Structures are given as C-alpha cells and as structure tokens.
Amino acid sequence: MTSTPGSFLAKYIFSTDHKVIAKQFLWVGFAFLLLGGTLAMLMRWQWAYPGARVPLVGDLLFSHSGGSISPATYTALFTMHGLIMVFWAITPILIGAFGNFCIPLLIGARDMVFPKLNLFSFWTFALSGVLVVAAFFAQLGPAAAGWTTYPPLSTNIGTPGWGQTLMVAALFVTGASTIMGAVNYITTIIVLRAPGMTYLRMPLTVWGLWLTSILNALFVPVLASAGLLLLLDRLLGTRFFIAGALGAPGAGDPVMFQHLFWIFGHPEVYILILPAWGIVGDLLSFFARKPAYWYRGTVLAMVLVTLLSGLVYGHHMYIAGISPLLGLGFEALTLSISVPAVILFANWLSTLWRGSIRFTVPMLFALGTVFVFGFGGVTGLLLGTISTDVVLHDTLYVVGHFHFTMAAATFLASLAAIYFWFPKMFGRTLDTRLGVIHFIGSLVLITLVFGGMLIAGYSGQQRRLFDPFQYTFLRHLAPLNRFTSYFAFALGATQLVFVVNLVRSLAFGQRAEANPWEVSTLEWTCAPSPPPHHNYETIPTVVRGPHEFSDPRVKVALGRDWLSQTEEFPAQAASGEFRPS
Amino acid sequence: MPFDASLDGHRIDRLVHVSLVFMIVLLAVMIGWMVYACLRHGRRHAATCDDGNSHRAKILPLGIAGFVLFIVDGNLLMNSTHDMEQIFWNFPRAEAHPEAVRIEVNAHQWAWDARYPGADGKFNTADDIVVLNDLRVPVNVPILFELSSVDVIHSFYLPSFRTKIDVVPGQLSKLWVQAQKTGEYEIGCAQHCGVNHYKMRGLLTVLPHEEFRDWAQEASAQSARAYDLADRTAHWGWDWK
Ligand SMILES: [Cu+2]
Ligand SMILES: [Cu+2]
C-alpha cells in the first residue's frame, strides 16, 4: 500500500482516505444541521407568536419587514428547512460520514474501492452546498415552493427568482454526488470484504448502508431527472409541468412531477432510515451483550423493506387525483410494510430481553431511536389508509409523523453513531455525563415537539400556514402551538450541550483505547483508535459473525463475554458441543 | 378533530378511533417490553446467549407481524375500501339524487371562485350564480363539486366534512359531501400555493332548504344583472362532466 501522503492539502482537504472524507461530510453535515435547526426555530417562533418581532436576531435578519417574519420569508423558511435537513444534513451525516467511515473499516478493507471517486463525491457535494448558501442571497429570496417543490408553484409562475433555481440546481448536483457515493459503497461491499466476511457475517450497519446505497443508485436519478426537467421549465420556457390557464395550449402535467418526486421520495425515507436501523440493530446487541436476535430475520426484513419501498409511493398522492384502483393498490402495499417493520422491532426488543444491558450513551441513543421510530411507525397507519389519510393529508399530523420517522429517528441514530464511533474516529472519548444530559433532553423534547404537531394536525391544522389562526376552527390551538414552540426552543438549546461536549472532547477528551466498548467487529478489534491510513496492517481474516457475546464457554476460557470476529474459538472450550455460527 | 357537520364523517372518525386503539396497544406493548427489559435485564443481570435462530424463537416476531397484517392492516384496508367505494367515491349515487346541488370551483391565488348553474341547470349561462369564497348549500342533500385551478395546485379542504381534494391546473377534481347540520363551516386551502396560502380561506354556509332557495333566486338574479357577454374571463365555467 502507498505511504501516507505528505502535504496538508493532500492530507486534510483533497484526501482520498475514506476516514478523512467521512469527517469532511460530518462537519459540513453538522454545519447544515445547525442552519436547518435555526430555520426551524424561526418557524416555531412564527407559530407561537404570528407576526411578532423576532427577538435577538429579528432586526438583523428581517430588517425589511420591521424585525418580524413576512409571509414570503416564512415560505422560504419551511422550504429551506426541509431541503437542507433532508439533503444537506441527514444525508451527509448518516450516509456521507458514517457510510464512508464504517464501510471499509467494518468489512476489513483498506479504503473504498474507488478512492478518487469518493473524493470527487465529497467535492461535488460541497459545490451543491455552495449553491444552497448562494440561494439565501438571491434576489426575491431563496426557494419557497416547499421541500416537495411541486410545480407549477416551483416554476416561474409561482416562484420567480434565482433562489428557487439555485436550489433545484443544488438538488441536481447533490444527487450526482449521492450517486457517485452509492456506486462506490455498493461496489466496495461487493468486492472488498475481507476473507471470511460473508454477507451474513456483515454488521447490520453495513447491511443498512448497502441497501441504502442500492436505493440511492436506483432512485436518485429519478429525482435528478425531475429536477432537470423543472430546470428546463424555469430556464428555457419548456412546459413539462405547467398546465392550466397559464400553461395552455400544449400543456404539461404537474402531477407527473409528483409521480417522479415520490418514486424517489418514498424510498428516500428508507434511504435515510436503513443506516439508522442497521446501527441500532448492532448497538442493541453490542450493549445488551447478546447476539442480535434472529440476525437473518433482521436482514431479511431490511431487504424486504428495500424491495417494497419502490412500490408504495402512491400513498403520498391519494388526494392528487390518481385513479381509485391505483390508490387501493398502493394502500395495500403500504400497509404490508408493517410486516418487515414488526419483525425488526420484535428482533430488537428480543435482543434486549434477558440481556445484560450496559446503558452507555450510544446505547441510550439507540434505545431512543427505537422509541421514536415506534411512534413514527404506528402513527403512519392513519396515513397509509386512504379514508383516514384524506382527512389528515397536508396537516401537521403528517409533519409530526414524518418528523418522528425521518427526523427524530435518523437524528438520534446519528447521535448514537457519533457517540459510538467518536473514539475510533478521533482517538478521544466524549464525556459521558454531558452525553446523558443531551440524551434525556433530546428524547423528551423531541417527543413533546413532534407529539404536539401530531395533536395539532389531528385537530385539523394544515401545514405551512404563515398564520394558522386566520382560521376560526384553529384558533383554540394557539396555546398548543405556543407550548410546542417552547419545547422546540428547549430542544434547540439542549443541542448546545452536545456542541460543548464535542468541542471539549476533541481538544481534551480522554485518549481512547482500541476497543473501549468491548465489541466484536473489526474496526475495534483489529485497529487502533484512530486507525492509520489504510486501516489494517494486514487484512484481517474473519471467522464469525459480528455479535459474539456472552457465550458461557468463552467466559470460562477467556474471562470475557465477547469474541472478536477474527478470533478462533478458544481450543479448550472447542472440545465441548460448541456450534459455530 | 374539528366539529363534524357531515352525514358520513362519522365513518372516518370511527376508523380513526379504531386505529388509535391499535396504535396505543402496539405502542404500549413496545414501550412496556423495552422498559421491562431495561429495568430487569441491566448490567447486573447475566445475559443469556440466545441468538434467536431456533424455529421456536421466530414464532414471536412472525406471530406479531401476522397479527398486525391480518387484524390491524386488514381491518383498516377493509373499512377504508368500503367507505371510499360506497360513499366518498360513489359519485353516481350522489348524482342520482334529484335535488343534488352542483358547484364548479375555480381556484386561483388566493381565493375560491365558485359557480352554480342557476335555474336552467347549465353552467356558463347568464343565470349562473357566481360567488367568491362564500359558498352556500342546502342541508341534507348531496353537494357535488367539480374543481380546477388556473395557476398552481391548491387543495380544497373541508375539515368539518372530513374530506379534501387537490385542485390541479389542467385537471378536473371531483368531490361530494352532504351536510347534516346547518351552520357556517370553513373552507381551507391545504396545499402550499404561495405567499398568501394561509389567507385562502372560504366559507361554506349550510342553510335550511327554503333559505337556500331564496338565496339562490336572489343571487341568480343579481348575477344575471351583472352578466357581460363580452367579458370572456368571467365565463370560466365548463360543461358538467
Ligand atoms: Cu411514503
Ligand atoms: Cu391555495
């Protein structure tokens, strides 16, 4: 293998080392998470006190509207919040950072199979990030057509100006980055698994990331093409998605965009959640000190969800005028997703059952992920079913539901991942006490904030209203909205604990040992913290699965409750009736 | 949920309540299971080395999955399909009612234009009743809507009737409701349609029959007086489909 490259630029900026690229994705992702979170705080202010001057930052940010949020600014806030969180925060953190960091290390490879493509993927992503930031400075403001970008509102008819154009272009560019990453991840997992690392010995994290990458490679191109057609509508005067009085004659079809968007958009939910599921599946086993319950069943359920994810997107369009028969088909398929979902949950909970649970900070966040995803899952029943969805569609109930699944679950899983892999990534340890405070605050407040949204939507409140209380039937919900906002502000403040912990631990954190968590997987058992360039001196040979815990005979022979994926079973005990998995 | 003024909204409400029970049961099982394990099987508890790969071990996840698929999902699918096909999508039955009221709605940023056919039963004629954001309908008869949009996508939302439908430019949407109680009910826009989306509010006033008849006659006469053949944009109506 090549030696460590010399110059600062080659080492930290244009590095091809997957671990460096992982950190680059992580920091950019965190920056956008902060930005997206700030936008959410501003929205929550608006719902708590519609039209009131924003304290602290109002005069600075909204000087042209007297320090308060104008209706136009408000539409930009929720649009940019949604787009940034999905594509520039969760995606880079879960997939960009942890995909990059984990895949080569966990399968026993020295790097990605295409390191230069990896480098190129990050810098393409960075370019898209520049476009996003630029959109904020565009005349007429940034994008404002909602994160779903439905035309004709997203064409020049509804949102003229460069902000919307820049964001559609940014989506296209980040899509290109995601596809590069996906091709790299898929191929790396196929060709670079260490000897003995069969598919069914891979950690669940790798399974999640692999399935996610397959979905990305299949469906991001659909989004990119929809974006490209929309760009043509905006820039060249085509009419792919423009119809009605302003579009005729030779009108296009706005609903076609919705099909394209949701063919991508539903799988996107699983694109974001599959890595989270994988991480949770591993961590529950690691810290319950028990093998993952019915590992093959969990893998099968994740594969099943991946297959189904492309066949259910129509549940976003029950009221968009699709044919009833089509709606019923999508409804049946949507509800059937509960089968793999239940298998996942039952396996996770059975993994905990009769374990010896160590409540480490990553474990707490993994448990929190299960909890909020459970909330998100069951509340989806009313939205998968046509007749009840018709009522709740486009209300805050939907927003609460997808924030539990897509935001809360992926957020908590990302935090579980960072608390878990931080020692390996940076060679230092995060503070446990601050971690516990961060966890309790986040879990409780997330549940209250998104729970409040579920209740508001259940009471009929539409989403995306600048001033919901224009409607008399929503006026009694003002206190609910206000309290939800207070919880949201507290949730935002709680994240400062994490920032402090992160910064302090990076500088002064305790030096991490190679395997502080006492787990079986390769990155902890075969490499120091942090691993050197190209990870492994010699490529490890894998002899067993990733969840080797609490075998009584290992305890007798070695005096510990775990076995590395590379460790042969101790000879003294092997004479017993031990059955290798 | 908002006040229910409709004949069939209670079907939705019932299904919602049934689902809520299922949701609470599923959540309670999940949380109870998790909390119990966390409390009783902590660090001091010795872990059993059960990898859950035996056939017996799979009964539990598959059993719960089967319960959810057949009992929870099955119930939702059956009831929802029945309600949609028999009631909410059953336009022929609503159309067949001799006194059914037909209304065309033309949405634009940010208001609801509505048109009744008037005495001649035909749209786009001089006796059409034309209103803005202020729709009136009689109680206890089916009200049929045909909706379209001139600019962007809107969504015609009747919270007190448990229904809504997207209103798409270049496309005709259909919706029908029947009021059971008189009163004023709000019409909302549920699809983000631009800066003043939040102001796109209308009223649906449900009147007793005689009052509605009087209002319709008066409104029709007024509209006829204001009718201007040359003003082509005012005749946005279409043949009822
Ligand atoms: Cu979906
Ligand atoms: Cu509207």
Share of chain A above pLDDT 70, in %: 96
Asked if residue B118 and residue B82 are part of one domain, the reply reads: no
Average pLDDT, chain A: 93
The answer to whether residue B94 is domain-embedded is no
Q: How many domains are contained in chain B?
A: 2
Look at residue A1 in the predicted model and tell me its pLDDT.
40
Residue of B nearest to A148 (CA): B192
What whole-number distance in Å separates Cα of residue A226 and Cα of residue A294? Answer: 40
Give the position of tokens 């099987």: B41
Asked if residue B123 and residue B84 are part of one domain, the reply reads: no
**Residue B48 touches chain A, beta carbons under 8 Å:** yes
- C-alpha distances (whole Å) from B77 to each of A329, A375, A428, B65, B83 are 10, 21, 52, 16, 10
Measured between beta carbons, the chain A residues lying within 8 angstroms of B168 are 243-244, 254-255, 320-321
Q: How far is B215 from chain A (nearest CA, A)?
A: 25
Identify the band that residue A3 occupies on the pLDDT scale cut at 50, 70 and 90. very low
More reliable by pLDDT, A157 or A505: A505
Look at residue A2 in the predicted model and tell me its pLDDT.
45
The CATH number of whichever domain residue B140 belongs to comes to 2.60.40.420
Share of chain B above pLDDT 70, in %: 100
What whole-number distance in Å separates Cα of residue A443 and Cα of residue A431? Answer: 18
Yes or no, beta carbons of A391 and B1 under 8 Å apart: yes
State the ipTM, two decimals.
0.96
Nearest to A338 among B69, B164, B168 (CB): B69
- Ligand 2 center to B109 CA (angstroms): 6
What are the tens digits of pLDDT across the range A6-64? 678 888 889 999 999 999 999 999 999 999 999 999 999 999 999 999 998 888 889 88
Look at residue A244 in the predicted model and tell me its pLDDT.
65
The string over A52-66, giving b where at least 16 C-beta atoms fall within 10 Å of a residue's C-beta and e elsewhere, is eebeeebeeebeebe
Asked if residue B60 and residue B108 are part of one domain, the reply reads: no
Asked if residue B120 and residue B209 are part of one domain, the reply reads: yes
Q: How far is A267 from chain B (nearest CA, A)?
A: 21
Q: Which of A43, A342, A464 to mutate to test binding with chain B, by most B CBs within 10 Å of its CB?
A: A342
Prior bond of A528 cis (ω within 30°)? no
Q: How far is A426 from chain B (nearest CA, A)?
A: 28
- Which ligand is nearest to the Cα of residue B147, counting in written order? 2
Q: How far is A34 from chain B (nearest CA, A)?
A: 25
What are the tens digits of pLDDT across the range B59-95? 999 999 999 899 899 999 999 999 999 999 999 999 9
Look at residue B48 in the predicted model and tell me its pLDDT.
86
The answer to whether residue B4 is domain-embedded is no
A residues 79..138 contacting B (CB < 8 A):
none
What whole-number distance in Å separates Cα of residue A369 and Cα of residue A432? Answer: 18
What are the tens digits of pLDDT across the range A59-78? 888 988 889 999 999 999 99
- Ligand 1 center to A316 CA (angstroms): 6
Q: What is the DSSP string of A430-485?
A: --HHHHHHHHHHHHHHHHHHHHHHHHHHHTTPBSS-S-GGGSGGGGGGHHHHHHHH
What are the tens digits of pLDDT across the range A381-420? 999 999 999 999 999 999 999 999 999 999 999 999 999 9
Residue of A nearest to B174 (CA): A321
Asked if residue B120 and residue B211 are part of one domain, the reply reads: yes
Asked if residue B208 and residue B112 are part of one domain, the reply reads: yes
Task: Determine how β-strand B101-108 pairs with β-strand B142-149.
Answer: parallel
Phi first, then psi, for residue B143 (nearest 5°) are: -110, 120
- Tell me the average pLDDT across A85-102: 97
Asked if residue B64 and residue B149 are part of one domain, the reply reads: no
Please provide the CATH number assigned to the domain covering A18-243+250-558: 1.20.210.10
The answer to whether residue B155 is domain-embedded is yes
Q: Which of A300, A358, A385 to mutate to test binding with chain B, by most B CBs within 10 Å of its CB?
A: A385
Asked if residue B148 and residue B44 are part of one domain, the reply reads: no
Look at residue A578 in the predicted model and tell me its pLDDT.
47
**Residue B18 touches chain A, beta carbons under 8 Å:** no
pLDDT of A242 higher than 60 = yes
* Three-class secondary structure assignment of B9-25: HHHHHHHHHHHHHHHHH
Asked if residue B68 and residue B173 are part of one domain, the reply reads: no
Q: Minimal CA–CA distance to A277: which of A452, A164, A416? A: A416
- Ligand 1 center to A259 CA (angstroms): 12
Nearest to A346 among B2, B50, B64 (CB): B64
Yes or no, beta carbons of A294 and B57 under 8 Å apart: yes
Residue of A nearest to B14 (CA): A388
Task: From B88, B121, B155, give the residue that closes a domain.
Answer: B88
Q: How far is A318 from chain B (nearest CA, A)?
A: 9
Domains of chain A, by residue range, sit at 18-243+250-558
Share of chain A above pLDDT 90, in %: 87
**Residue A375 touches chain B, beta carbons under 8 Å:** yes
Yes or no, beta carbons of B64 and A466 under 8 Å apart: no
Task: From B88, B110, B130, give the residue that closes a domain.
Answer: B88
The enclosing H or E element of B143 equals strand B142-149
Strands (E), A354-430: none
**Residue B12 touches chain A, beta carbons under 8 Å:** yes
Q: Residue B55: which domain range?
A: 9-88
Least confident of A61-70, A188-197, A571-580, B228-237: A571-580
Q: How far is B27 from chain A (nearest CA, A)?
A: 7
Yes or no, beta carbons of B51 and A467 under 8 Å apart: no
Look at residue B62 in the predicted model and tell me its pLDDT.
93
- Tell me the average pLDDT across B43-58: 87
Yes or no, beta carbons of B52 and A351 under 8 Å apart: yes
The answer to whether residue B93 is domain-embedded is no
* Three-class secondary structure assignment of A33-64: HHHHHHHHHHHHHHHHCCCCECCCCHHHHCHH
Look at residue A82 in the predicted model and tell me its pLDDT.
97
Yes or no, beta carbons of A245 and B150 under 8 Å apart: yes
Q: Minimal CA–CA distance to A573: which of A559, A553, A555, A558? A: A553
Look at residue A321 in the predicted model and tell me its pLDDT.
85
pLDDT of A557 higher than 60 = yes
Share of chain B above pLDDT 90, in %: 76
The answer to whether residue B16 is domain-embedded is yes
**Residue A353 touches chain B, beta carbons under 8 Å:** yes
Asked if residue B127 and residue B79 are part of one domain, the reply reads: no
- Which ligand is nearest to the Cα of residue B107, counting in written order? 2
Look at residue A4 in the predicted model and tell me its pLDDT.
52
Asked if residue B215 and residue B138 are part of one domain, the reply reads: yes
pLDDT of A577 higher than 80 = no
Task: From B88, B121, B137, give the residue that closes a domain.
Answer: B88
Asked if residue B180 and residue B76 are part of one domain, the reply reads: no
